[in-house]
């Protein structure tokens, strides 16, 4: 019953915004980063994920949205500690090999790099490291809550905050929507994290279970 009521509210959200005196606008036009597709896989030696979407060209968390570009952010984490500061891999997309250098990120103990373009949804993707090839699955295809629904749920949770930044047709904030996996848990523990950043420096967060649509937490 709760889920039915939640999605009913999402459907009437534009009407609520009008009732609050805010001009209807598309929050998607003010997303400085949004993940739309997600690939991942794992074996006994390493796990890998690729977040696909669009983000600001001049990436800066300042409450202002700028022109976008496509991205496919590759992340690799090994089961055992690696001493290298960088890693050369191949990302194989529908049989086409793409060389990519990953930089070591000490904060997360992972290697990361961007292909510089968006992998097309439905593509067959694999990662090759040395002689080892790992096939990835597009797990976002199986989400109960895709990126559009996640954005709608987040808008509902932050309706007052979003309205407060929408002044005379000028939206003085930017949004971020990323996929996170719970540290130390299996890959099926994936969460959408929406962040609203105002031009005044204030930040608001909503965390949503990608499989159930449950709002895990709201930081206002």
Using alpha carbons, select from 19, 15, 54 the residue that is nearest to residue 34: 54
pLDDT surpassing 60 at residue 2? no
Is 0.75 topped by the overall pTM? yes
Of 145-159, 175-189, 200-214, least confident by mean pLDDT is 175-189
Residue written as token pair 């977040």: 51
pLDDT, tens digit (0-9, with 9 covering 90-100), for 54-112: 999 999 999 999 999 999 999 999 988 777 889 999 999 999 999 999 999 988 889 99
> Residue 184 — pLDDT band, cuts 50, 70, 90?
low
pLDDT surpassing 70 at residue 155? yes
Question: What pLDDT was estimated at residue 198?
Answer: 97
Tell me the C-alpha distance between 89 and 47, whole Å: 13
pLDDT, tens digit (0-9, with 9 covering 90-100), for 4-27: 444 434 443 443 343 344 445 689
Tell me the C-alpha distance between 175 and 135, whole Å: 32
CA 18 to centroid of chain Cα atoms = 28
CATH architecture type of domain 38-62+69-140? Sandwich (2.60)
DSSP state of 155: H
Tell me the C-alpha distance between 19 and 17, whole Å: 5
Q: Where are the domains of the chain?
A: 2-29+143-219, 38-62+69-140
- Give the torsion through C-alpha atoms of 168, 171, 173, 179, to 10 deg: 140
Using alpha carbons, select from 176, 172, 157 the residue that is nearest to residue 16: 157
């Amino acid at each position: 019953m709760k889920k039915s009521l939640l999605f009913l509210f999402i459907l009437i959200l534009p009407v609520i915004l009008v009732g609050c005196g805010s001009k209807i606008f598309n929050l998607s036009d003010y997303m400085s980063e949004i993940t739309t597709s997600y690939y991942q896989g794992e074996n006994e030696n390493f796990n890998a994920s690729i977040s696909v979407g669009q983000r600001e060209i001049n990436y800066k968390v300042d409450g202002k949205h700028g022109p976008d570009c496509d991205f496919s952010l590759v992340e690799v984490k090994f089961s055992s500690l690696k001493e290298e500061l960088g890693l050369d891999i191949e990302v194989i997309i529908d049989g086409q090999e793409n060389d990519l250098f990953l930089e070591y990120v000490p904060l997360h103990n992972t290697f990361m790099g961007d292909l510089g373009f968006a992998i097309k949804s439905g593509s067959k993707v694999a990662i090759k490291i040395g002689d080892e090839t790992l096939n990835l699955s597009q797990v976002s295809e199986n989400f109960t809550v895709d990126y559009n629904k996640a954005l709608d749920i987040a808008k509902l949770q932050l309706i007052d905050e979003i309205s407060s930044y929408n002044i005379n047709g000028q939206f003085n904030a930017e949004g971020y929507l990323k996929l996170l996996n719970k540290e130390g848990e299996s890959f099926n523990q994936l969460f959408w994290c929406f962040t609203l950043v105002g031009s005044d420096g204030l930040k608001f967060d909503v965390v949503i279970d990608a499989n159930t649509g449950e709002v895990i937490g709201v930081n206002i």
